[in-house]
């Protein structure tokens, strides 16, 4: 399957329109709420949140995407997460990535929209309302933030790197210890800094724009990193599976990204040392 350059251009405009509609909802919610913390429901566990605004944003985004591209499939976190990813043009959507941050009124949340063809992302739009930033990329056309071209950093060693480590939903002792050991390892190298933010998609934008140099995660989903993957690639960086640096499986639930493989290979060494992937999926009885 493929789409034409004209269809790709049209899809960019559709995705931007959809992202802006959801951005307006997020900003309005944060600006008008009386309390900085929303009432929330949980999904897989007590740290996996969903709010009424996730659903509202998803409805707005899906309506816009289906109106603009009625023949494209859609996979979206809140209501269409179980649909299979085929080879035809498919929108992959996270209406609010970083729901916990959004619910607390923090800045690190965003709307993430990707167009995937043949299981490869070819278009990405990520809108960060509280940062007033919109990141965009399309295959062969470069990556941009608010219309300005962006590029990954020139960093080639971890010593000079800002590393982003996300806290997994799994809070088992095995998983927590693995995360802490990895953080300790990076700090002892030392890297310039270790950071933790609430949105996978936005973390990838930070790498794409050279604000950070390494990000990896295990246990998340296609809608968390599909848009970020094409943005990083078009910004000159690399993004790949944690067990194969030559592939990126959007359904594999694991990813590592950086400006180059000199950086990402070192990260994989550290992850392997502490069995990070296995630890994330470890379920322990209480």
Residues designated as active site: 77, 94, 96-97, 99, 224
Long-range contact list for 138-146, CB < 8 A, 24+ apart? 138/8, 138/12, 138/230, 138/234, 139/8, 139/230, 139/234, 140/234, 141/234, 142/234, 142/235, 143/208, 143/231, 143/232, 143/234, 143/235, 145/205, 145/209
Rama region for 118: left / alpha / beta (φ>0; ψ in -120 to 50; rest): left
């Amino acid at each position: 399957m493929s789409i034409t350059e004209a269809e790709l251009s049209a899809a960019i405009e559709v995705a931007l329109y959809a992202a802006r509609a959801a951005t307006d909802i997020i900003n309005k919610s944060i600006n008008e709420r009386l309390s900085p913390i929303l009432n929330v429901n949980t999904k897989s566990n007590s740290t996996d949140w969903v709010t009424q605004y996730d659903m509202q944003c998803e409805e707005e985004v899906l309506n816009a995407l289906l109106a603009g591209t009625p023949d494209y499939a859609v996979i979206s976190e809140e209501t269409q997460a179980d649909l299979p990813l085929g080879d035809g043009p498919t929108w992959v959507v996270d209406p609010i990535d970083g729901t916990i941050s959004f619910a607390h009124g923090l800045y690190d949340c965003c709307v993430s929209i990707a167009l995937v063809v043949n299981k490869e992302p070819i278009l990405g739009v990520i809108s960060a309302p509280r940062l007033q930033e919109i990141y965009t990329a399309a295959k062969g056309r470069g990556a941009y933030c608010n219309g300005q071209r962006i590029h990954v950093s020139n960093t080639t060693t971890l010593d000079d790197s800002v590393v982003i480590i996300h806290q997994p939903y799994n809070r088992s002792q095995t998983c927590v210890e693995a995360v802490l050991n990895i953080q300790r390892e990076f700090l002892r190298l030392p890297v310039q800094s270790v950071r933790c933010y609430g949105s996978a998609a936005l973390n990838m934008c930070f790498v794409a724009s050279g604000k950070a140099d390494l990000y990896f995660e295990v246990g998340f989903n296609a809608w968390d990193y599909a848009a970020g993957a094409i943005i990083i690639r078009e910004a000159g960086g690399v993004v790949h599976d944690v067990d194969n640096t030559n592939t990126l499986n959007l359904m594999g639930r694991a990813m590592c990204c950086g400006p180059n493989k000199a950086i990402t290979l070192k990260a994989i060494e550290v992850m392997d040392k502490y069995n990070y992937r296995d630890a994330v999926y470890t379920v322990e009885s209480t």
